[in-house]
Structure 1
Amino acid sequence: MVKRISKADHDRITAAIRAAEAKTSGEIFCVLAKEVSTYRDIGLLWAAAAAFLLPLALIPFGFEPAWIPGMASGWDAAHLSARGTEISQALAAYALIQAAVFVMVYAALRLPPLRRVTTPKSVRRDRVRRAALHQFLAHGLHVTEERTGVLIFAALDDHRVEVIADKGIHARVDQSVWVDAVEALTSSLKDDRPAEGFEAAIGMVGAVLAEHFPPRPRNPNEIADRLVEI
């Protein structure tokens, strides 16, 4: 996966956008996001579930406070009045184990590979799409003259690519035409070839735009030709 985007890469991507837009009235914009969400809520849910369920596995083995150093004196209670103390110690020991499990699981799930595995694909897909839509709106791709803006969005930590087209394109182009562009960029990002991937995706998107939206006699550049990193 991509480690860095050099200035030369930025220049190549800018040149690819300009070349593509020379043949169309459409506008292309690119965004590369390191992460779109921390997914802390998902980590907390997994940690809470683990803290509740995993310690239960100790009960069939006769769990007792003495298993935890310092939680028991090592002496057996000889009379009934001491049972309350034993119960309190057992509950405290169990709560301590739950807390330790919670902290360890949550800390482990902060690692990107484990976070990806434990976060449902539907959740990652929705959050990447939401982040892409936010960037689409933030950079004004929805206010071009003919509503022909296209965003190429890549989320590194989530290993996902989104292409969002404005409604002027939606009305004339089926969304399946962007599949090849998504696959080309995804493959190149995986091989740490970001410039090549964006160039390929931009070329494919540009070809679709050129077919349906040729240049106008007055064809201003409405959106900056560049890649933004967030």
Structure 2
Amino acid sequence: MLNDEERRRIEEAVRAAELRTSGEIYCVLAEESSDYRETPLAWAAIAALLGPAALLLAGVEVSAPELLDGGWSATQVSDMAEVAARSALVGAILLQGVLFVAAGLLAAWGPIRRVLTPRPLKRERVRGRARELFLAKNLSATRARTGVLIYVSMAEHMAELVADEGISSRVEPGAWDRPMAALIAGLKRGETGSGFAAAVGLCAEILAEHAPADRSDNPNELPDAVVELPRL
């Protein structure tokens, strides 16, 4: 996802930023935030349920043979009608099974799955993954609780910024809009490294104002290198 130059640029941006603040900035780039395994199942179920209805709307009909004028007894007519109904039911079940498998396989293909997954679900998963990583990478364990996570999920084309309570309680939520805008602008240009570096620099301005560095005691509590996570 990144080349060596981009990795170096992000790491240098983080290192320079943390000289100005007691806060910690941590960058993560993920290929995808979730496997969205429920998406192909949901679309397979929809296709299977709507398949018979679509046939009826298309004018396909199932009817019993004309028996009443052929000298058939009531019992024979009843039996033939039952056979016709059973055949129609079996045909509908088989159709639903085929549609379920076909739609499920199609929706499971990566590009199709991402298109069919609702955007609100993607946003929820990206936000949840960012918060999960915030805890897993110990950003909530810094001394002053001033850790900031910058998280990008490539497949969803989404990003999140999570700030710990030590800094989030001191700034307005809108303060993070500029770093996020710079990050997204870089991603849209296809310049991931530049986007991260710009976002880091703007986060450093916020952190330096509200959590300035103590020149005599400013340990580097977290790695500066960007973390790249493969697809789940």
TM-score using structure 2 length: 0.86
Conserved? CA contact 2:24–2:147, under 8 Å: yes
CA distance in 2, matches of 1:186, 1:111: 27
Alignment of 1:167-186 (within 5 A): 167-186=165-184
> Could you tell me which residue of structure 2 aligns to residue 30 of structure 1?
27
Q: Which runs of 5+ in 2 are unaligned?
A: 68-75
Alignment RMSD, CA only?
Answer: 1.9
CA distance in 1, matches of 2:100, 2:179: 41
CA distance in 1, matches of 2:61, 2:189: 50
> Could you tell me which residue of structure 2 aligns to residue 68 of structure 1?
none
> Could you tell me which residue of structure 2 aligns to residue 16 of structure 1?
13
Task: Please list the CA deviations of residues 145-183 of structure 1 after superposition, one character each: whole Å capped at 9, or x if unmatched.
Answer: 100000000011111100000000111011211112222
Alignment of 1:7-156 (within 5 A): 7-60=4-57, 61-64=59-62, 80=77, 81-156=79-154
Letter in 1 for 2:182: A
Name whichever of 177-186 and 199-208 sits farther off. Answer: 177-186
The residue matched to 2:182 in structure 1 has which SS?
helix
Conserved? CA contact 1:28–1:202, under 8 Å: yes
Q: How far apart are 1:129 and its partner, in Å?
A: 0.9
Conserved? CA contact 1:181–1:201, under 8 Å: yes
Letter in 1 for 2:158: R
Letter in 2 for 1:45: A
The residue matched to 1:163 in structure 2 has which SS?
strand
The residue matched to 1:54 in structure 2 has which SS?
helix
CA distance in 2, matches of 1:200, 1:62: 60
> Could you tell me which residue of structure 2 aligns to residue 72 of structure 1?
none
Conserved? CA contact 1:112–1:157, under 8 Å: no
Conserved? CA contact 2:39–2:108, under 8 Å: no
> Could you tell me which residue of structure 2 aligns to residue 160 of structure 1?
158
CA distance in 1, matches of 2:40, 2:185: 28
Matched, 1:224 2:223: yes
Task: Please list the CA deviations of residues 204-229 of structure 1 after superposition, one character each: whole Å capped at 9, or x if unmatched.
Answer: 11111111111112000001101111
Conserved? CA contact 1:31–1:228, under 8 Å: yes
Task: Please list the CA deviations of residues 37-58 of structure 1 after superposition, one character each: whole Å capped at 9, or x if unmatched.
Answer: 1111133122212211232121
Q: 1:168 to 1:53 in 2, by over 3 A?
A: same
Q: How far apart are 1:17 and its partner, in Å?
A: 0.3
Identity %: 41
For this pair of structures, how many residues does the alignment match? 217
The residue matched to 1:197 in structure 2 has which SS?
helix
Name whichever of 82-91 and 49-58 sits farther off. Answer: 82-91
Q: How far apart are 1:128 and its partner, in Å?
A: 0.8
Letter in 2 for 1:165: A
Conserved? CA contact 2:51–2:95, under 8 Å: no
